[in-house]
Each structure stands twice: as C-alpha cells, then as structure tokens.
Amino acid sequence: MQNWAERLKDYLSGGGAVFFGGAGVSTESGIPDFRGKDGLYNQKYKFPPERMLSRTFFNENTKDFYDFYREKMIFPDVRPNKAHFKLAELEKAGGLNAVITQNIDGLHQKAGSVNVVELHGSVHRNLCMECGAAHDIGAVINAAGVPRCECGGVIKPDVVLYEEQLDYNVTIKAKRLISEADVLIVGGTSLAVYPAAGFIDYYTGGKLVLINKSETPYDGKADLVIRESIGEVLASVIP
Ligand code: CNA
C-alpha cells in the first residue's frame, strides 16, 4: 500500500474528521468543475463564467443567465460517485463529523450524508423574489426562459452568486466545525474562491490532508498532500 494511504488511514482511525470539498468531488459523477483540466474556465464562452454567474448578470441579463445556468450548472440525472458514498459511510460509522461543501449539486445528501453544510447553496432550492415561495428544481428546468412563480415573480436559485454574501449562520457553523476538527480533509477544490477557501485557516490541528489533482495555494501548509483522484483515494482508505 502507498505511504499516503497508510497515513490517511491512521489519521482517520482516531475519528473527529471534517471534510471540506469543492467541484472536484463531483467531476467523477460527470459534472465539470471550473478550474480543472476540463473545467468551464478552459472552455470558450461569450463572457467568463464568473461574470455569467454574478448577481449583476442575473439582474441585468436574467434570460442569458438561465440559459447558461441550465446548461452548465444543473445536472438533474447525475448520481453520486465513490467519493460521496465513502464520505457518507464514514459519517455513518462515526468517523466524520460533517461535510462542508462549496458544491451546489446536492450529491452528498443523495449519497446519504446527513450533516452537510452548503456554503454556496443548492440548485435544489429556488425562491420567488416577490413572494418568497419555494420551488423545486423542476420549476427551473422546465421553464422556457426565465422561471416565474404563480404570483408572477422571478424565481432565483438559492445559490450564492459572485458578488453575493455567504449566509452568516452557514459560515459560523462551517468555521466552528473546522476549528473543532481533529482531522481536516480538503478535497477536489482549487482553494481559489474566497471567502470559502480561507475557512480552512480555522483548522489548528496537525492533520490537514489535501486531496486534489492539481496544486493548490495551501499545499505548503498541509500535513499530507495527495495528488490523485478523490474517489479512488477515499475508496482505498475507507473500508
Ligand atoms: P474549482 O476551482 O473548479 O477546482 C476544482 C479542483 O478539483 C481543481 O483544482 C481540480 O484539479 C480538482 N479536481 C477535479 N477533479 C478531481 C478529482 N476527481 N479528484 C481530485 N481532484 C479533482 O472548484 P472549487 O470548488 O474549488 O471552486 C469553487 C466554486 C466552484 C464553487 O463556487 C462551486 O459552487 C463551483 N462549482 C460547483 C460545482 C458543483 O456543484 N458540482 C460544479 C462547478 C463549479
């Protein structure tokens, strides 16, 4: 067995772990990430994705926003992959306190994880901007153009767009979980999007594990860096 696998197994054997992840966790389910090799930032669009997913763009070009969002951010038929399932199993076995994710795809819950903190919201929750009524993802998928509520109001995904603030209570919870973790596993994230990436600074323990296919700005601070597929890594260390 590889040296990193032995060390990671050893870290996990004591319990008290928290997982902090990003888009790379879902690439093995078929959802492209932003900054990975085949990510959206390496494809050509009229505007860069951070502009098309900004609040200004949503307000001023709502139809174009939804054309992009429906095509590139919503994948209704995807299934969780090994990474999601193994994390759910670890939580069930008592070894994982929580999953904190920057993803908006809901795949951790689909795999069975219970304590999931969604820093950037979820495509599965959508709210009318006029009356506040909740709508499921079908209201967005099935709308021709801009999805509208029965009251006539525009429906907005409960997703944190660029220029928007993270939910205060969600950030407090994430920071507390990270500061109390014995082991922090960070995976499938470029750690380029703030403030979320900075949350891992709240970890003060000596078991910071980074599992990412490409280099991240935090590699130098980690106790263990694994440059492999996250699904393969978790499947090899979680029984
Ligand atoms: P990112 O910046 O696209 O980084 C993803 C990282 O994961 C890259 O460094 C890749 O090298 C790495 N990676 C890709 N596949 C794997 C794999 N199988 N195993 C290991 N590493 C892998 O994404 P971040 O999450 O860091 O950026 C935060 C943004 C992306 C958040 O706001 C998300 O909402 C947003 N996003 C979410 C989804 C989703 O919900 N599935 C998809 C695309 C983007």
pLDDT of residue 60: 97
Count of domains for the chain: 2
**87 and 50 fall within a common domain:** no
Q: What is the pLDDT of residues 183-233, one digit of tens each?
A: 999 999 999 888 888 999 999 999 999 999 999 999 999 999 999 999 999
**6 and 115 fall within a common domain:** yes
**Model pTM?**
0.96
Share of the chain above pLDDT 90, in %: 87
Instruction: Tell me which of 38, 71, 123, 189 to substitute to probe ligand 1's pocket, judged by most ligand atoms within 8 Å of the beta carbon.
Output: 189
Domain holding 48: CATH number?
Answer: 3.30.1600.10
**Ligand 1 center to 5 CA (angstroms):** 23
**40 and 134 fall within a common domain:** yes
pLDDT for 38 beyond 80: no
**116 and 4 fall within a common domain:** yes
Q: Decide which of 106, 133, 159 is a domain's last residue.
A: 159
**Ligand 1 center to 188 CA (angstroms):** 5
Domain enclosing residue 27, as ranges = 1-31+80-120+166-239
E strand map for 49-154: 96-101, 116-118, 121-128, 134-135
What H or E segment, with its residue span, contains residue 20?
Answer: strand 17-21
